[in-house]
Amino acid sequence: MPQLEIRLLGTMQVVRGDGSLLHLPPIVQSLFAYIVLYQYRGQPRQGHRREALANLFWSDQPEKNARRCLSTALWRLRRELDDQCTDRYLFASGSGEVGFNFGSEYWLDIAAFEKGVRRGLAVPMEDMTQEHVAVLEEAVSLYTGELLEDCYQEWALRERERLNLLYVRCLGRLMRYYRHHGAYEQGLQYGKKILAADPLREQVHRELILLYLESGQRALAIQQYEVCRRILADELGIEPMAETRHLYEQMMGTGTAVSPQPFASGAGPQKLDLLLSQLNTAMRDLDAAREQLREIQQAMACLLDQDARVSF
């Protein structure tokens, strides 16, 4: 076990190698989270300028008082970090920068999560192996909650959104992988997790409807449509998209449960297969468009980070 375990997903926890928790005041904990998070996202070998940290965390104080508050917070943080540890986790450069020593013995949950995401999504879904699946499932298990869920400062919100998009992307890949391989229960499990994170994703509601149909659970497919319709009406005041309504009409028109074979039905199978095939094509196109949008959002977030570092 590493000498220091840093968990930023969910409620922040910092654990020493002996299993004891670091007890930090909220402002000191936030300061440490920021130092680690934005140094990890930027250049791990470089720290943060003291005046930038003081202005960010004590902006309501005069400059002299803010610097004094920062010095006190760093002293308390260093005392807690270095207690019973052989490594030195904070460094101070000759130019006045302070930062986390990424050459020390530590484990960071967001680093492990992003590494798993990169490995698991390195190939198209059709080329995924069990190893890719296992890596993605391990990454998903590390996402125990939103980043620093008790923190509502802007710097945390930007990273929270970026990591949440990665998490949902992993869930979507796993849902579609299991559906592709006929493992409907696993696919349903991951689809439900997506909707737990973002219940307004109508496309995922459609995919769950199809998963229920393919597994012969027509009643649950209809129920899923009703859930989708109510959520969209209550939250956005809109009806489901035409594709979703058309899928519902197809379900109600068959009158019988579908067989486990994808998209088969007892009435007009060829026509229904064609319609659902066209629906699948449209959904894949929508997937690609949303994927491009997520990539643009992530790129914009990185640009914002770079601008923030330059301004510091």
Same domain for 224 and 281, yes or no, is yes
> Where among 148, 182, 216 does a domain terminate?
182
Q: Report pLDDT digits (tens) over 3-57.
A: 899 999 999 999 988 889 999 999 999 999 999 999 998 877 788 999 999 999 9
Q: Report pLDDT digits (tens) over 161-184.
A: 999 999 999 999 999 999 999 999
Same domain for 307 and 226, yes or no, is yes
Q: Determine the pLDDT at residue 112.
A: 97
In a domain, 192, yes or no: no
Say if CB 89 and CB 39 are below 8 A apart: no
In a domain, 89, yes or no: yes
Task: Give the residue carrying structure tokens 């998070």.
Answer: 37
Same domain for 210 and 297, yes or no, is yes
Here the CATH number for the domain that contains residue 28 is 1.10.10.10
Q: Which DSSP helix (H) or strand (E) runs through 296? A: helix 269-311
Domain count, the chain: 3
In a domain, 126, yes or no: yes
Q: What residue numbers bound the domain in which 232 lies?
A: 199-312
Spatial neighbors of 68 by CB under 8 A, at least 6 apart, are: none
Same domain for 165 and 253, yes or no, is no
In a domain, 190, yes or no: no
Say if CB 23 and CB 70 are below 8 A apart: no
Angle CA(245)–CA(180)–CA(252) in degrees, nearest 5? Answer: 25
Q: Report pLDDT digits (tens) over 209-256.
A: 999 999 999 999 999 999 999 999 999 999 999 999 999 999 998 443
In a domain, 142, yes or no: yes
Cα–Cα distance for residue pair 298/279, rounded to 1 Å: 28
Is the predicted pLDDT of residue 85 greater than 90, yes or no? no
In a domain, 57, yes or no: yes
Cα–Cα distance for residue pair 118/197, rounded to 1 Å: 21
Same domain for 94 and 149, yes or no, is no
pTM (two decimals): 0.78
